[in-house]
Amino acid sequence: MDICEIPENASKCSGNTMECFMVLSTQAQKISIATLCGIFGTLCIFENSLVLYLIFSSPRTRKKPSYLFISSLALADILASIIFVCSFVNFHVFNGTGFSKEAFLLQLGGVNTSFSASLSSLLLTALDRYLSIVRPSEYKLLMTRRRAWTALGVLWATCATIASLPLLGWNCCTLDSTCSELFPFVDDNYLSSWVCLTLVLLGCIVYAYAHVLCRARQHVAYMEQHQAQVGKQSTRMRMDVMLAKTLVMVLAVLVLCWSPVLVLMIYSVFARLSDPLRKVFAFCSTLCLLNSMVNPVIYALRSKELNSSLRRVFSRFRRQLKVSEESPEAESTHRSSMVET
C-alpha cells in the first residue's frame, strides 16, 4: 500500500510501501513483542475489569466522584489495551497491510483516544484530590456527581475529537506535507501538537499533585499534634492523604512508562531516526500497556475500600468453590443411600 512520503532512513525499502514502517526484522523480535503485548494486554484487561466491577458493585464507591474518575481511567486502559494490542501486533508481528489509509487512521485514533482519556482521567483525579484536601469543607458542594459526569463527558468528547483529526483531513496525504517517521499517514505537525498536549497534561498533573503533597504533609503534621481533638475528622483526613499518596504513585509510574515514548516522538520531529531507534520505539510502546497494567494493582494495594471489596469477592468465590467441591460428594452419598433403600 502506497503512502505519501517515506522517511529518508527508510529509502532502502522497495517502493512507497507501509513495509518501511515495519521495523521488526527478526523472528525473535516479533515473538518478544507479541509476548509482551499478550501478557501486558491480558493482565491489563483483567485487572481493570476487576476494578470496574469492584467500584460499580458497591453502592458506596460508585456514588463517589473520585471513583467515577478512576472508573474512567480503568475503562480507557481497557479500550487502549484491546485496540493497541490488536492493531500493533497485526501490523508489526503479522505484517498486516490489508487495510486502507482510513482504516489505519481509525485504529490510530482509537489508540490515541484511549490513552489520551487515560491521561486526562488522571488529571481529573488529581484535581479531585486537590479540592478534597485544599477545600475539604466545600468539597461535596464543589464536586457533585453531576459535575463529575459532565467533566467525564467533556473529557471523552475532547479526546475523541483530537484523535480523529488525522482521519478528518489533518494527515500528510491530504495536506501533501511531511509524514512522520514513526506512524504512516501522520503529519509531523499533528504529532508534535499531540506531544505538546500530552506534555501540558502531564505538567498540569504534576502541578496539582505538588500542591496535594504539600497539603498532605501539613495534614500529617496536624494530625500528629491534634489527633486526640479531631476524632472522626482526623480519620477522614488520613484517608484523603492515603489516597493522594496512592495517586502520586500512579503518576510516577505513568511518567516512567511514557517518558521514553514521548522523548522519541519529540526527537523524531526535529531529527531523523535510525532503524535501531525505531525498533527501540516499538518496544518502548509496550511500556504504555505496562502502565495500564500497574495502575489497578496500586489501587488494590492502597485503597482500603477497593481492597476490602476485593477481599469480599475472593471470600465469596472461595465459598462457592468449596460448595461446588462438596456437592459431588453429597450427591454421591445421596445416591448410595437411595441404592441401599
How many angstroms separate the Cα of 233 from the Cα of each of 226, 230, 323? 11, 5, 43
Q: Range of 285's domain?
A: 25-225+240-306
CATH of the domain at 114: 1.20.1070.10
Give residue 110's pLDDT band: very low, low, confident or very high (50, 70, 90).
very high
For the chain, how many structural domains are there in total? 1
What DSSP string describes 21-59? G----SHHHHHHHHHHHHHHHHHHHHHHHHHHHHHHT-H
Residue with the larger pLDDT of the pair 7 and 194: 194
Question: How large is the average pLDDT for residues 30-35?
Answer: 88
pLDDT digits (tens, 9 = 90+) for 5-28: 444 444 344 334 677 777 777 888
% of the chain beyond a pLDDT of 90? 18
User: Which region holds residue 169: left if phi is over 0, alpha if psi is between -120 and 50, else beta?
Assistant: left
Q: Is residue 17 part of a domain?
A: no
For residue 5, being part of any structural domain is answered with no
The mean of the pLDDT values for the chain is: 80
In tens, the pLDDT along 84-100 reads 998 888 888 877 666 77
Q: Which of 47-56, 145-154, 265-274 has the lowest mean pLDDT?
A: 265-274
pLDDT at site 168: 92
Q: Looking at 135-187, list the stretches that DSSP marks H as alpha helix, in order from N- to C-terminal side.
A: 139-142, 145-163, 165-168, 172-175
Residues 6+ apart with CB under 8 A from 130: 208, 211, 212
pLDDT higher than 60, residue 277? yes
- Judge whether 212 lies within some domain: yes
Q: What is the mean pLDDT of residues 42-50?
A: 92
Instruction: Quote the cell numbers at residue 48.
Output: 481493570
162 to 115, 119, 168, 169: CA distances (angstroms) = 12, 14, 10, 12
In a domain, 165, yes or no: yes
d(CA 189, CA 80): 23
Percent of the chain exceeding pLDDT 70 equals 78
Predicted confidence at residue 271, as pLDDT, reads 82
Distance between CA atoms of residues 243 and 299, nearest Å: 9
| 185-194, 205-214, 216-225: the lowest-pLDDT one | 216-225
- The Cα 178–Cα 185 span in angstroms is 9
Instruction: Return the amino acid letter for 138.
Output: E
CA nearest to 278, candidates 1, 13, 86, 4: 13
